[in-house]
Amino acid sequence: MEGQRRRDTKPEMTLRSALWRSGLRYRVDLEVHGRRRRVDIAFTRRRLAVFVDGCFWHSCPEHGTVPKANREWWKAKLEANVTRDRATDVELRSIGWTVLRVWEHEDMAIVASQVEALLTCLSRRGNPRDV
């Protein structure tokens, strides 16, 4: 598992590239509020945290699987990942951040448009927190 990329995955790079081409500037792999958990793409002024979740590691309802070998261990590991994701969302929202989670299989051009629209909304109305 140490060999797995934690950042700069292909879907994340595709999204970052689309956001950059749109003129948006962001922070990458940002540690927020002194915690070990990090935000994939962060818009600090608008307090928007974007996570690009891998289908396997974050148990995508469409594509998530559990390996057959050592099944119980993997099941516990993947469930812990999802629990940690939800806790991270709650923690970020409690300190005023809006959280957007997308799956790696989503069209990143569409996601980039959604991020742009959300940033526009945040700049006009404040921070809606529930995305």
Task: Please give the structure tokens belonging to residue 83.
Answer: 């629990």
**Average confidence score pLDDT of the chain:** 90
pTM: 0.88
Q: Which residue has the tokens 């309802």?
A: 61
Q: What pLDDT score was predicted for residue 3?
A: 55
CATH code given to domain 13-122 = 3.40.960.10
pLDDT category of residue 7 using cuts at 50, 70 and 90 = confident
pLDDT in tens, 71-95: 999 999 999 999 999 999 999 999 9
| Distance (Å, whole) CA 116 – CA 27 | 15
pLDDT beyond 90 at 121: yes
The residue ranges of every structural domain in the chain are: 13-122
Query: Of 122, 97, 99, nearest to 47 (Cα)?
Result: 97
